[in-house]
Amino acid sequence: MNISDDSYYNNVILAWDEASWEFQTACVEANKEYSLANKLGILHWDTIDMKNDQLTQITWAKDTIDGVWTKVQIYYNQFEHIFQELLAKEIDWESARMLAVELWFRMIMDLIAMNADDLRKGEIAIAATDIIDINHLAWERGKFFQDTMKEAMKKAIQTTQIAITAGETAILGTNPQAKYAQKIIEDLYKVLHEDINTDKNTLALVEKGLDKINAKLEGIEFNISWTALWLEVEEKKLVLLNGEYYDIIAFRENTTNGIIWPRANGVTKIREDMESIMGEWWENMTFEDFMDKIWLIKTKKIPENVFTICRGKKLWDIATGTTTVFNPFIANKLLWWLDGKPIAKIAKLIHVTGNPLKKISEWIGDKNYKVELNLGTTTVPQIITLLQVALDIPDEQAMNKRNMGVPYAIVAYPGDRPAIAKLAHEHGFKTSVIGSVQKKSPWKEDEKNTIMWVGLGNSSMTF
């Protein structure tokens, strides 16, 4: 057999080479044009010149790998919807391309944020590396995936100035257990179809199951492992300096058509909850479909502003948004690690990946201080509100898994608040004071951390 006719060669070996080459080439070009690493002259990691005057106080560090697993399922399910609409000529190629690029861009920004914004000592995220394990990249679907993913990677580099060092794209081949299940169901369907006594409903049920597994085997599924690479200025420390009172300043997520996305913070639970309400392939359904699924009495509990923003949108547009990556601004603008002196005294940097009260109080890390939060001015991501309504999720349970609209916070001296707000505004970030860190009274050592106006019920809680 000619090697060019071999399916394994075409769908695994050749596809791996092509995908890896395309992603790496696209990222190298974008890194050279947009990345901070290139501007610092350290784009090639193996030739870092630590004697360069600009880098004398910088050390090299590497984070552990964060595997995303089920976090990406919303995205590749919706990619399949877009691709099927393209095949059916229900959407033109350019519109499909733009939708798919936006889809992957949201995913990449979310994954970069989960790594880069976890750098809470002021380190500057210089690069993100990825390793993609994918089931197959065959034919038109594979080419469409590669073309749109590489464009999204370039867009993410331009947006964040964080280089992406595209690692291996491994084509793993079809899951053998899934192929075995497909063969069993095909044999069962054949036997039932040939038996004149088979009930039509039974045959239809088996046929539906076969269609589902065929669709799964045909569609793209993958996992990405990410890690952040950064530079660190060691002598600059972020600590509470025995002050009596500090402001907690929250940074807001930017919106996508009014939608606020809760980051990859509990996204697996979001997907599972939405599937329990809407069923499989819920991503391409609409907000109106969602309302039809929940009781009428529950739809009346949806706040008017949430209803207005979600109306007419597909559920994937409500369940995902463009995640803000805060690290480039925080490290290199607010703290001025490389370019000069910081404009403010920052005591703590806090990436709120769930439960604002718990995360913030834990990162304060000093039992002599108490945290008081007020979320009355924050906007909870709409998907969280919808799930609270549909599944009667209590505020405390929602907060345990979600950031409740506080993705990132800093602890700073009150006198520095105007300068911080001004600089943030100049760079397109919205900030607001959501609470305080105060020294406990000597006679009140049992004072608890508190949070008010949480979630749908505007609850108050302590920790």
Which tens digits make up the pLDDT trace of 325-365? 999 999 888 887 666 677 888 889 999 988 999 999 998 88
Six token digits for residue 438: 């105060």
Please, where are the H alpha helices in 35-123?
A: 36-39, 73-87, 93-116
How sure is the predictor about 6, in pLDDT bands with cuts at 50, 70 and 90? Answer: low
How sure is the predictor about 8, in pLDDT bands with cuts at 50, 70 and 90? Answer: low
Which tens digits make up the pLDDT trace of 422-438? 999 999 999 999 999 99
How sure is the predictor about 94, in pLDDT bands with cuts at 50, 70 and 90? Answer: very high
Which tens digits make up the pLDDT trace of 366-378? 888 899 999 999 9
Q: Are 399 and 453 in contact (CB under 8 A)?
A: no
Return d(Cα 384, Cα 456) in angstroms, integer: 9
- pLDDT for 50 equals 42
Using the predicted structure, report yes or no on whether residue 189 has a pLDDT greater than 90. Answer: no
- pLDDT for 198 equals 78
Between 92 and 6, whose confidence is greater?
A: 92
How sure is the predictor about 68, in pLDDT bands with cuts at 50, 70 and 90? Answer: confident
Return d(Cα 39, Cα 32) in angstroms, integer: 8
Average pLDDT (72-101) is 94
How sure is the predictor about 258, in pLDDT bands with cuts at 50, 70 and 90? Answer: very high
How sure is the predictor about 47, in pLDDT bands with cuts at 50, 70 and 90? Answer: very low
Q: Where are the beta strands (DSSP E) in 363-462?
A: 369-374, 408-412, 431-439, 450-454, 459-462
Nearest CA to 453 out of 359, 369, 376, 371 is that of: 376
Radius of gyration of the chain (CA): 25
Average pLDDT (75-90) is 94
Mean pLDDT for the chain overall: 85
Question: Rounded to whole angstroms, what are the CA distances from 155 to 30, 98, 443?
Answer: 8, 12, 55
- CB crowding 279-314: b at 16 or more within 10 Å, else e: eeebbbbbbeebbeebeeeeeeebeeebbebbeebb
Nearest CA to 216 out of 279, 174, 184 is that of: 174
What is the sign, positive or negative, of the torsion defined by CA atoms of 398, 400, 406, 408?
negative
| Helices (H) then strands (E): counts for the chain | 18, 12
Using the predicted structure, report yes or no on whether residue 289 has a pLDDT greater than 80. Answer: yes
Q: Are 283 and 78 in contact (CB under 8 A)?
A: yes
Return d(Cα 272, Cα 283) in angstroms, integer: 12
Q: Return all residues near 223 (Cβ < 8 A) that are at least 6 apart.
A: 67, 68, 69, 72, 132, 133
- pLDDT for 106 equals 95
Using the predicted structure, report yes or no on whether residue 63 has a pLDDT greater than 50. Answer: yes
How sure is the predictor about 443, in pLDDT bands with cuts at 50, 70 and 90? Answer: low
Looking at the DSSP bridge assignments, the partners of residue 163 are 127
How far does the chain reach from its first CA to its final CA, in angstroms?
68
Using the predicted structure, report yes or no on whether residue 320 has a pLDDT greater than 70. Answer: yes
Nearest CA to 15 out of 174, 172, 177 is that of: 172
- pLDDT for 458 equals 93
Between 171 and 82, whose confidence is greater?
A: 82
Which tens digits make up the pLDDT trace of 223-232? 888 888 887 7
Between 191 and 2, whose confidence is greater?
A: 191
State the amino acid at position 250 in one-letter form: A
Residue 227's SS3 state is strand
Using the predicted structure, report yes or no on whether residue 291 has a pLDDT greater than 90. Answer: yes
- pLDDT for 287 equals 97
- pLDDT for 15 equals 61
Return the ∠ at Cα 449 (arms to 444 and 454), rounded to 5°.
Answer: 145
Return d(Cα 41, Cα 384) in angstroms, integer: 43
Average pLDDT (51-76) is 63
What angle, rounded to 10 degrees, do the helices at 267-278 and 73-87 form? 50
Residue 251: exposure state from Cβ atoms within 10 A (0-12, 13-18, ≥19): buried
- pLDDT for 193 equals 78
- pLDDT for 233 equals 61
Question: Rounded to whole angstroms, what are the CA distances from 400 to 270, 349, 403?
Answer: 13, 20, 8
Question: Rounded to whole angstroms, what are the CA distances from 435 to 198, 365, 370, 371?
Answer: 67, 16, 11, 7
How sure is the predictor about 83, in pLDDT bands with cuts at 50, 70 and 90? Answer: very high
Residue 241: exposure state from Cβ atoms within 10 A (0-12, 13-18, ≥19): exposed
Return d(Cα 153, Cα 30) in angstroms, integer: 8
Q: 18: how many CB neighbours lie within 10 A of its CB? A: 16
Which tens digits make up the pLDDT trace of 386-414? 999 999 999 999 999 899 999 999 999 99
- pLDDT for 172 equals 80
